[in-house]
Amino acid sequence: MAEPGQPLSKADAKFAAADAGVQVTVLPLRDTSGRPSLEADLASSKASITSSAVSEEDKPGRRRWVTWVRSQFRRDNWRHTVKILAIGQLLSLCITGTTVCSNKLATEYGVSIPTTQSFLNYVLLTLVYLPYTLYRRGFRTWLRVLRRRGWMYLVLAAVDVEGNYFVVKAYQYTSLLSAMLLDTWAVPVVVLLSYFLLRVRYHFVQYAGVVLCLVGMGLLVTADALTDRDYAGSNPLKGDLFCVLGATLYGMSNILEEYSVRQFPVYEVIAHMGLFGTIINGVQLAILERKELAATEWSAYVVGLVLAFDLCLFIMYSVTPYLFRLSSATFFNISLLTSDFYGLLFGIFLFHYRIHVLYPFAFVGIILGMVVYNMRDCPEPELNSRFADSLKVPADIQTADPESEEEAVDQPGRHA
Protein backbone atom coordinates (compact mmCIF):
# COMPACT_ATOMS: atom_id res chain seq x y z
CA MET A 1 0.00 0.00 0.00
CA ALA A 2 1.32 3.48 -0.84
CA GLU A 3 2.34 5.89 1.93
CA PRO A 4 0.01 8.84 2.72
CA GLY A 5 0.39 11.62 0.20
CA GLN A 6 1.92 9.34 -2.42
CA PRO A 7 0.10 8.41 -5.66
CA LEU A 8 -1.60 4.99 -5.79
CA SER A 9 -0.30 2.16 -7.86
CA LYS A 10 -2.64 0.36 -10.29
CA ALA A 11 -3.14 -2.55 -7.85
CA ASP A 12 -3.95 -0.20 -4.93
CA ALA A 13 -6.42 1.68 -7.10
CA LYS A 14 -8.23 -1.58 -7.94
CA PHE A 15 -8.47 -2.53 -4.26
CA ALA A 16 -9.80 0.94 -3.40
CA ALA A 17 -12.47 0.67 -6.07
CA ALA A 18 -13.50 -2.81 -4.91
CA ASP A 19 -13.81 -1.63 -1.29
CA ALA A 20 -15.97 1.28 -2.36
CA GLY A 21 -18.27 -0.99 -4.37
CA VAL A 22 -17.56 0.88 -7.59
CA GLN A 23 -16.50 -0.66 -10.88
CA VAL A 24 -13.87 1.49 -12.64
CA THR A 25 -11.33 1.16 -15.40
CA VAL A 26 -7.79 1.85 -14.12
CA LEU A 27 -6.07 4.67 -16.01
CA PRO A 28 -2.39 5.67 -15.97
CA LEU A 29 -1.23 7.59 -12.90
CA ARG A 30 -0.51 10.71 -14.98
CA ASP A 31 -1.85 11.76 -18.30
CA THR A 32 0.29 13.25 -21.09
CA SER A 33 0.06 16.76 -19.59
CA GLY A 34 1.49 15.62 -16.25
CA ARG A 35 -1.68 16.27 -14.26
CA PRO A 36 -2.89 13.74 -11.60
CA SER A 37 -5.12 11.01 -13.08
CA LEU A 38 -8.55 9.82 -11.97
CA GLU A 39 -6.92 7.24 -9.66
CA ALA A 40 -5.72 9.97 -7.34
CA ASP A 41 -9.23 11.45 -7.23
CA LEU A 42 -10.61 7.98 -6.49
CA ALA A 43 -8.16 7.52 -3.63
CA SER A 44 -9.04 10.88 -2.12
CA SER A 45 -12.81 10.11 -2.21
CA LYS A 46 -12.47 6.53 -0.95
CA ALA A 47 -13.31 7.40 2.64
CA SER A 48 -16.52 9.27 1.79
CA ILE A 49 -17.76 6.55 -0.61
CA THR A 50 -17.01 3.78 1.87
CA SER A 51 -18.77 5.58 4.72
CA SER A 52 -21.90 6.14 2.62
CA ALA A 53 -21.91 2.48 1.58
CA VAL A 54 -21.68 1.41 5.22
CA SER A 55 -24.55 3.70 6.18
CA GLU A 56 -26.72 2.07 3.48
CA GLU A 57 -25.76 -1.42 4.65
CA ASP A 58 -26.97 -0.54 8.14
CA LYS A 59 -30.55 -0.85 6.80
CA PRO A 60 -30.69 -4.04 4.69
CA GLY A 61 -33.93 -5.23 6.26
CA ARG A 62 -35.63 -1.91 5.59
CA ARG A 63 -34.58 -1.90 1.93
CA ARG A 64 -35.83 -5.44 1.42
CA TRP A 65 -39.12 -4.63 3.16
CA VAL A 66 -39.72 -1.53 1.04
CA THR A 67 -38.88 -3.44 -2.15
CA TRP A 68 -41.25 -6.27 -1.20
CA VAL A 69 -44.11 -3.87 -0.33
CA ARG A 70 -43.68 -2.05 -3.64
CA SER A 71 -43.72 -5.35 -5.53
CA GLN A 72 -47.10 -6.22 -4.00
CA PHE A 73 -48.65 -3.13 -5.55
CA ARG A 74 -47.67 -4.05 -9.07
CA ARG A 75 -50.69 -3.98 -11.33
CA ASP A 76 -50.30 -7.58 -12.48
CA ASN A 77 -50.11 -8.92 -8.91
CA TRP A 78 -53.28 -7.19 -7.81
CA ARG A 79 -55.15 -8.15 -10.97
CA HIS A 80 -54.32 -11.77 -10.28
CA THR A 81 -55.27 -11.46 -6.58
CA VAL A 82 -58.62 -9.83 -7.39
CA LYS A 83 -59.31 -12.50 -10.01
CA ILE A 84 -58.78 -15.47 -7.69
CA LEU A 85 -60.62 -13.70 -4.85
CA ALA A 86 -63.62 -13.29 -7.17
CA ILE A 87 -63.48 -16.94 -8.25
CA GLY A 88 -63.19 -18.07 -4.63
CA GLN A 89 -66.22 -16.05 -3.59
CA LEU A 90 -68.20 -17.36 -6.57
CA LEU A 91 -67.52 -20.88 -5.32
CA SER A 92 -68.45 -19.83 -1.78
CA LEU A 93 -71.77 -18.52 -3.09
CA CYS A 94 -72.32 -21.84 -4.86
CA ILE A 95 -71.80 -23.69 -1.57
CA THR A 96 -74.23 -21.26 0.06
CA GLY A 97 -76.78 -21.98 -2.65
CA THR A 98 -76.58 -25.73 -2.04
CA THR A 99 -76.97 -25.20 1.72
CA VAL A 100 -79.99 -22.90 1.33
CA CYS A 101 -81.70 -25.30 -1.09
CA SER A 102 -81.10 -28.28 1.22
CA ASN A 103 -82.41 -26.35 4.24
CA LYS A 104 -85.54 -25.28 2.38
CA LEU A 105 -86.19 -28.86 1.26
CA ALA A 106 -85.70 -30.24 4.77
CA THR A 107 -87.51 -27.57 6.81
CA GLU A 108 -90.49 -26.74 4.58
CA TYR A 109 -91.06 -29.97 2.65
CA GLY A 110 -89.50 -32.65 4.84
CA VAL A 111 -87.30 -33.84 1.93
CA SER A 112 -83.83 -35.14 2.84
CA ILE A 113 -82.23 -36.90 -0.13
CA PRO A 114 -78.59 -35.71 -0.20
CA THR A 115 -77.30 -38.76 -2.06
CA THR A 116 -79.92 -38.31 -4.79
CA GLN A 117 -79.08 -34.62 -5.13
CA SER A 118 -75.35 -35.36 -5.49
CA PHE A 119 -76.12 -38.20 -7.92
CA LEU A 120 -77.86 -35.81 -10.31
CA ASN A 121 -74.80 -33.52 -10.24
CA TYR A 122 -72.44 -36.37 -11.18
CA VAL A 123 -74.78 -37.39 -14.00
CA LEU A 124 -74.78 -33.81 -15.31
CA LEU A 125 -70.97 -33.66 -15.18
CA THR A 126 -70.78 -36.90 -17.14
CA LEU A 127 -73.25 -35.76 -19.81
CA VAL A 128 -71.42 -32.47 -20.38
CA TYR A 129 -67.72 -33.32 -20.04
CA LEU A 130 -67.40 -36.96 -21.13
CA PRO A 131 -68.56 -36.35 -24.75
CA TYR A 132 -66.18 -33.39 -24.95
CA THR A 133 -63.34 -35.57 -23.65
CA LEU A 134 -64.09 -38.20 -26.29
CA TYR A 135 -64.14 -35.48 -28.95
CA ARG A 136 -60.81 -34.01 -27.83
CA ARG A 137 -58.96 -37.24 -27.05
CA GLY A 138 -60.55 -39.79 -29.35
CA PHE A 139 -62.09 -43.10 -28.28
CA ARG A 140 -58.91 -45.17 -28.48
CA THR A 141 -56.88 -42.62 -26.51
CA TRP A 142 -59.67 -42.46 -23.93
CA LEU A 143 -59.47 -46.25 -23.47
CA ARG A 144 -55.71 -45.93 -22.95
CA VAL A 145 -56.35 -43.18 -20.39
CA LEU A 146 -58.76 -45.45 -18.50
CA ARG A 147 -56.22 -48.28 -18.45
CA ARG A 148 -53.34 -46.06 -17.39
CA ARG A 149 -54.89 -43.69 -14.83
CA GLY A 150 -58.53 -44.73 -14.49
CA TRP A 151 -57.75 -46.10 -11.01
CA MET A 152 -56.68 -42.60 -9.88
CA TYR A 153 -59.94 -41.05 -11.09
CA LEU A 154 -61.86 -43.86 -9.36
CA VAL A 155 -60.13 -43.09 -6.04
CA LEU A 156 -60.75 -39.35 -6.52
CA ALA A 157 -64.47 -39.88 -7.19
CA ALA A 158 -64.87 -42.31 -4.26
CA VAL A 159 -63.22 -39.91 -1.80
CA ASP A 160 -65.33 -37.02 -3.08
CA VAL A 161 -68.62 -38.97 -2.89
CA GLU A 162 -67.99 -40.22 0.64
CA GLY A 163 -66.81 -36.80 1.82
CA ASN A 164 -70.13 -35.31 0.69
CA TYR A 165 -72.04 -38.14 2.33
CA PHE A 166 -70.42 -37.98 5.77
CA VAL A 167 -70.58 -34.18 6.05
CA VAL A 168 -74.30 -34.15 5.19
CA LYS A 169 -75.02 -37.03 7.59
CA ALA A 170 -73.11 -35.23 10.36
CA TYR A 171 -75.74 -32.45 10.44
CA GLN A 172 -78.37 -35.04 11.40
CA TYR A 173 -76.52 -36.13 14.55
CA THR A 174 -74.42 -33.24 15.87
CA SER A 175 -75.17 -29.60 16.63
CA LEU A 176 -74.95 -26.90 13.98
CA LEU A 177 -72.05 -25.08 15.68
CA SER A 178 -70.06 -28.29 16.11
CA ALA A 179 -70.54 -29.14 12.45
CA MET A 180 -69.50 -25.65 11.33
CA LEU A 181 -66.42 -25.68 13.55
CA LEU A 182 -65.31 -29.21 12.70
CA ASP A 183 -65.91 -28.62 9.00
CA THR A 184 -62.97 -26.18 9.04
CA TRP A 185 -60.75 -29.19 9.77
CA ALA A 186 -60.48 -29.51 5.97
CA VAL A 187 -58.18 -26.45 5.94
CA PRO A 188 -55.35 -27.90 8.11
CA VAL A 189 -55.82 -31.26 6.36
CA VAL A 190 -55.18 -29.62 2.98
CA VAL A 191 -52.17 -27.69 4.34
CA LEU A 192 -50.61 -30.85 5.82
CA LEU A 193 -51.26 -33.00 2.75
CA SER A 194 -49.92 -30.26 0.47
CA TYR A 195 -46.76 -30.09 2.57
CA PHE A 196 -46.08 -33.82 2.70
CA LEU A 197 -47.57 -35.14 -0.57
CA LEU A 198 -47.23 -32.23 -3.00
CA ARG A 199 -44.10 -30.89 -1.22
CA VAL A 200 -45.47 -27.36 -1.11
CA ARG A 201 -43.41 -25.01 1.06
CA TYR A 202 -45.51 -22.10 2.30
CA HIS A 203 -44.16 -18.73 3.42
CA PHE A 204 -44.86 -17.62 7.00
CA VAL A 205 -47.10 -14.85 5.57
CA GLN A 206 -49.33 -17.52 4.04
CA TYR A 207 -49.54 -19.43 7.32
CA ALA A 208 -50.53 -16.13 8.96
CA GLY A 209 -53.26 -15.68 6.34
CA VAL A 210 -54.66 -19.16 7.05
CA VAL A 211 -54.66 -18.49 10.80
CA LEU A 212 -56.42 -15.16 10.25
CA CYS A 213 -59.14 -16.92 8.22
CA LEU A 214 -59.63 -19.48 10.99
CA VAL A 215 -59.89 -16.67 13.56
CA GLY A 216 -62.61 -15.09 11.43
CA MET A 217 -64.40 -18.44 11.32
CA GLY A 218 -64.14 -18.63 15.11
CA LEU A 219 -65.86 -15.25 15.38
CA LEU A 220 -68.58 -16.52 13.06
CA VAL A 221 -69.24 -19.57 15.23
CA THR A 222 -69.22 -17.39 18.37
CA ALA A 223 -71.80 -15.08 16.78
CA ASP A 224 -74.00 -18.08 15.94
CA ALA A 225 -73.80 -19.22 19.56
CA LEU A 226 -74.79 -15.77 20.85
CA THR A 227 -77.76 -15.53 18.48
CA ASP A 228 -79.10 -19.01 19.42
CA ARG A 229 -78.79 -20.40 15.92
CA ASP A 230 -77.55 -23.68 17.37
CA TYR A 231 -79.64 -26.81 17.84
CA ALA A 232 -79.03 -29.91 19.93
CA GLY A 233 -77.69 -33.03 18.25
CA SER A 234 -79.30 -36.43 18.67
CA ASN A 235 -75.91 -38.19 18.84
CA PRO A 236 -73.14 -35.55 19.15
CA LEU A 237 -70.22 -38.00 19.29
CA LYS A 238 -71.31 -39.85 16.16
CA GLY A 239 -72.04 -36.58 14.37
CA ASP A 240 -68.66 -35.07 15.31
CA LEU A 241 -66.83 -38.16 14.09
CA PHE A 242 -68.77 -38.07 10.82
CA CYS A 243 -67.90 -34.39 10.39
CA VAL A 244 -64.19 -34.90 11.02
CA LEU A 245 -64.15 -37.89 8.66
CA GLY A 246 -66.03 -35.97 5.97
CA ALA A 247 -63.73 -32.92 6.29
CA THR A 248 -60.68 -35.20 6.05
CA LEU A 249 -62.05 -36.83 2.90
CA TYR A 250 -62.80 -33.37 1.49
CA GLY A 251 -59.17 -32.38 2.05
CA MET A 252 -57.90 -35.56 0.40
CA SER A 253 -60.24 -35.02 -2.55
CA ASN A 254 -58.97 -31.46 -3.04
CA ILE A 255 -55.33 -32.56 -3.02
CA LEU A 256 -55.95 -35.40 -5.49
CA GLU A 257 -57.89 -33.09 -7.78
CA GLU A 258 -55.23 -30.37 -7.61
CA TYR A 259 -52.56 -32.92 -8.54
CA SER A 260 -54.69 -34.25 -11.40
CA VAL A 261 -55.56 -30.90 -13.00
CA ARG A 262 -51.92 -29.78 -12.84
CA GLN A 263 -50.90 -32.86 -14.83
CA PHE A 264 -53.82 -33.54 -17.17
CA PRO A 265 -56.58 -31.59 -19.01
CA VAL A 266 -59.27 -30.13 -16.78
CA TYR A 267 -62.13 -31.45 -18.91
CA GLU A 268 -60.71 -34.99 -18.63
CA VAL A 269 -60.50 -34.84 -14.81
CA ILE A 270 -64.05 -33.47 -14.44
CA ALA A 271 -65.45 -36.02 -16.92
CA HIS A 272 -64.03 -38.97 -14.99
CA MET A 273 -65.07 -37.55 -11.62
CA GLY A 274 -68.57 -37.41 -13.04
CA LEU A 275 -68.39 -40.89 -14.59
CA PHE A 276 -67.07 -42.75 -11.55
CA GLY A 277 -69.05 -40.54 -9.17
CA THR A 278 -72.25 -41.51 -10.98
CA ILE A 279 -71.45 -45.22 -10.57
CA ILE A 280 -70.45 -45.02 -6.90
CA ASN A 281 -73.22 -42.64 -5.92
CA GLY A 282 -75.79 -44.65 -7.86
CA VAL A 283 -74.95 -47.83 -5.95
CA GLN A 284 -75.04 -45.93 -2.66
CA LEU A 285 -78.36 -44.34 -3.63
CA ALA A 286 -79.95 -47.71 -4.40
CA ILE A 287 -78.90 -49.01 -0.97
CA LEU A 288 -79.51 -46.01 1.31
CA GLU A 289 -82.27 -43.79 -0.10
CA ARG A 290 -84.86 -46.03 -1.72
CA LYS A 291 -87.42 -45.42 1.01
CA GLU A 292 -86.85 -41.64 1.05
CA LEU A 293 -87.30 -41.44 -2.72
CA ALA A 294 -90.52 -43.46 -2.58
CA ALA A 295 -91.93 -41.19 0.14
CA THR A 296 -90.98 -37.89 -1.55
CA GLU A 297 -93.78 -35.77 -3.00
CA TRP A 298 -92.34 -34.29 -6.18
CA SER A 299 -94.08 -30.93 -6.38
CA ALA A 300 -92.90 -28.21 -8.76
CA TYR A 301 -91.23 -26.35 -5.90
CA VAL A 302 -89.34 -29.43 -4.72
CA VAL A 303 -88.13 -30.16 -8.26
CA GLY A 304 -87.07 -26.53 -8.64
CA LEU A 305 -85.04 -26.60 -5.42
CA VAL A 306 -83.34 -29.86 -6.43
CA LEU A 307 -82.44 -28.42 -9.84
CA ALA A 308 -81.13 -25.22 -8.23
CA PHE A 309 -79.01 -27.33 -5.87
CA ASP A 310 -77.49 -29.28 -8.76
CA LEU A 311 -76.91 -26.15 -10.84
CA CYS A 312 -74.89 -24.59 -7.99
CA LEU A 313 -72.95 -27.82 -7.52
CA PHE A 314 -72.30 -28.16 -11.25
CA ILE A 315 -70.86 -24.63 -11.45
CA MET A 316 -68.69 -25.34 -8.42
CA TYR A 317 -67.29 -28.59 -9.84
CA SER A 318 -66.64 -26.90 -13.20
CA VAL A 319 -64.81 -23.83 -11.83
CA THR A 320 -62.88 -25.34 -8.92
CA PRO A 321 -60.14 -27.00 -11.06
CA TYR A 322 -59.26 -23.65 -12.61
CA LEU A 323 -58.85 -22.12 -9.13
CA PHE A 324 -56.52 -25.02 -8.28
CA ARG A 325 -54.38 -24.08 -11.28
CA LEU A 326 -54.44 -20.36 -10.55
CA SER A 327 -53.83 -20.75 -6.80
CA SER A 328 -54.06 -23.86 -4.62
CA ALA A 329 -56.39 -26.20 -2.74
CA THR A 330 -55.54 -24.32 0.45
CA PHE A 331 -56.83 -21.04 -0.94
CA PHE A 332 -59.94 -22.82 -2.22
CA ASN A 333 -60.78 -24.08 1.28
CA ILE A 334 -60.23 -20.77 3.06
CA SER A 335 -62.39 -19.09 0.40
CA LEU A 336 -65.29 -21.37 1.33
CA LEU A 337 -65.22 -20.13 4.94
CA THR A 338 -67.26 -17.07 3.89
CA SER A 339 -70.15 -19.30 2.82
CA ASP A 340 -71.59 -19.21 6.34
CA PHE A 341 -71.73 -15.41 6.19
CA TYR A 342 -73.53 -15.53 2.83
CA GLY A 343 -75.84 -18.15 4.32
CA LEU A 344 -76.71 -15.66 7.04
CA LEU A 345 -77.62 -13.02 4.44
CA PHE A 346 -79.96 -15.49 2.73
CA GLY A 347 -81.27 -16.59 6.12
CA ILE A 348 -82.27 -13.04 7.06
CA PHE A 349 -84.82 -13.05 4.23
CA LEU A 350 -85.72 -16.74 4.07
CA PHE A 351 -85.47 -17.95 7.68
CA HIS A 352 -85.68 -14.60 9.60
CA TYR A 353 -82.24 -14.91 11.20
CA ARG A 354 -80.92 -12.14 13.45
CA ILE A 355 -77.55 -10.59 12.59
CA HIS A 356 -74.97 -10.18 15.35
CA VAL A 357 -72.39 -7.38 15.54
CA LEU A 358 -69.58 -9.96 15.22
CA TYR A 359 -70.66 -11.14 11.76
CA PRO A 360 -69.14 -8.21 9.79
CA PHE A 361 -65.88 -8.54 11.75
CA ALA A 362 -65.80 -12.27 11.02
CA PHE A 363 -66.35 -11.69 7.31
CA VAL A 364 -63.68 -8.96 7.13
CA GLY A 365 -61.26 -11.21 9.04
CA ILE A 366 -61.70 -14.07 6.56
CA ILE A 367 -61.37 -11.80 3.51
CA LEU A 368 -58.31 -10.10 5.03
CA GLY A 369 -56.78 -13.52 5.68
CA MET A 370 -57.23 -14.44 2.00
CA VAL A 371 -55.58 -11.17 0.92
CA VAL A 372 -52.66 -11.80 3.28
CA TYR A 373 -52.32 -15.37 1.98
CA ASN A 374 -51.96 -14.03 -1.57
CA MET A 375 -49.42 -11.34 -0.67
CA ARG A 376 -46.81 -14.00 -1.45
CA ASP A 377 -46.62 -15.92 -4.70
CA CYS A 378 -48.47 -19.19 -4.43
CA PRO A 379 -45.85 -21.96 -4.02
CA GLU A 380 -45.82 -24.49 -6.81
CA PRO A 381 -46.00 -28.18 -5.86
CA GLU A 382 -42.87 -30.25 -6.45
CA LEU A 383 -44.64 -33.06 -8.24
CA ASN A 384 -43.06 -36.48 -8.62
CA SER A 385 -42.19 -36.58 -12.31
CA ARG A 386 -41.58 -40.33 -12.35
CA PHE A 387 -45.05 -41.05 -10.94
CA ALA A 388 -46.64 -38.55 -13.34
CA ASP A 389 -44.88 -40.14 -16.31
CA SER A 390 -46.21 -43.55 -15.31
CA LEU A 391 -49.77 -42.19 -15.66
CA LYS A 392 -49.32 -40.64 -19.09
CA VAL A 393 -50.30 -42.12 -22.43
CA PRO A 394 -48.44 -41.42 -25.70
CA ALA A 395 -50.98 -38.74 -26.66
CA ASP A 396 -50.08 -36.77 -23.50
CA ILE A 397 -46.44 -36.63 -24.54
CA GLN A 398 -46.95 -35.94 -28.25
CA THR A 399 -49.44 -33.08 -27.86
CA ALA A 400 -49.43 -30.19 -25.43
CA ASP A 401 -52.58 -29.23 -23.56
CA PRO A 402 -53.66 -25.75 -24.71
CA GLU A 403 -55.44 -25.19 -21.40
CA SER A 404 -52.12 -25.47 -19.56
CA GLU A 405 -50.57 -22.85 -21.81
CA GLU A 406 -53.48 -20.45 -21.25
CA GLU A 407 -53.25 -20.84 -17.51
CA ALA A 408 -49.48 -20.39 -17.54
CA VAL A 409 -49.86 -17.10 -19.42
CA ASP A 410 -52.47 -15.91 -16.95
CA GLN A 411 -50.33 -16.37 -13.84
CA PRO A 412 -48.10 -13.28 -13.48
CA GLY A 413 -45.48 -13.53 -10.79
CA ARG A 414 -45.94 -17.24 -10.28
CA HIS A 415 -42.96 -19.55 -9.92
CA ALA A 416 -42.07 -21.73 -12.87
Residue 132: name the closest of 275, 279, 326 by CA. 275
Task: Report the C-alpha gap between 283 and 302 in whole angstroms.
Answer: 23
* 98/312 Cα distance (integer angstroms): 6
**Torsional sign, CA 234, 235, 238, 243:** positive
Percent of the chain at pLDDT exceeding 70: 73
| Distance of alpha carbon 89 from alpha carbon 273, whole angstroms | 23
Best mean pLDDT range from 5-19, 162-176, 307-321, 385-399: 307-321
pLDDT tens-digit series, residues 145-160: 999 999 999 999 999 9
225 within 8 A of 181, measured Cβ to Cβ: no
Q: Which of 66, 49, 169, 65 is nearest to 113 (CA)?
A: 169
Give me the pLDDT at residue 41, please.
53
How many percent of the chain have pLDDT more than 90? 38
**Residue 14 in this model has a pLDDT that exceeds 70:** no
pLDDT digits (tens, 9 = 90+) for 300-357: 999 999 999 999 999 999 999 999 999 999 999 999 999 878 877 777 776 676 777 8
Higher pLDDT among residues 83 and 374, named by residue: 83
**N- to C-terminal Cα distance for the chain?**
49
- Please give the average per-residue pLDDT across 261-273, as a whole number: 95
Least confident of 11-15, 126-130, 131-135, 342-346: 11-15
Question: Of 57-66, 305-314, 385-394, where does mean pLDDT reach its minimum?
Answer: 57-66
| CA-CA-CA-CA torsion sign (299, 302, 304, 307) | negative
Residues 247, 167 contacting (CB under 8 angstroms): yes
Most confident of 58-62, 122-126, 399-403: 122-126
In DSSP notation, 113-172 reads -HHHHHHHHHHHHHHHHHHHHHHHH-HHHHHHHHHHHHHHHHHHHHHHHHHHHHHHHHHH
pLDDT higher for 366 or 45? 366
DSSP 78-108: HHHHHHHHHHHHHHHHHHHHHHHHHHHHHHH
At residue 288 the predicted structure's pLDDT band, cuts being 50, 70 and 90, is confident
Q: What angle do CA 212, 77, 214 make, to 5 degrees?
A: 10
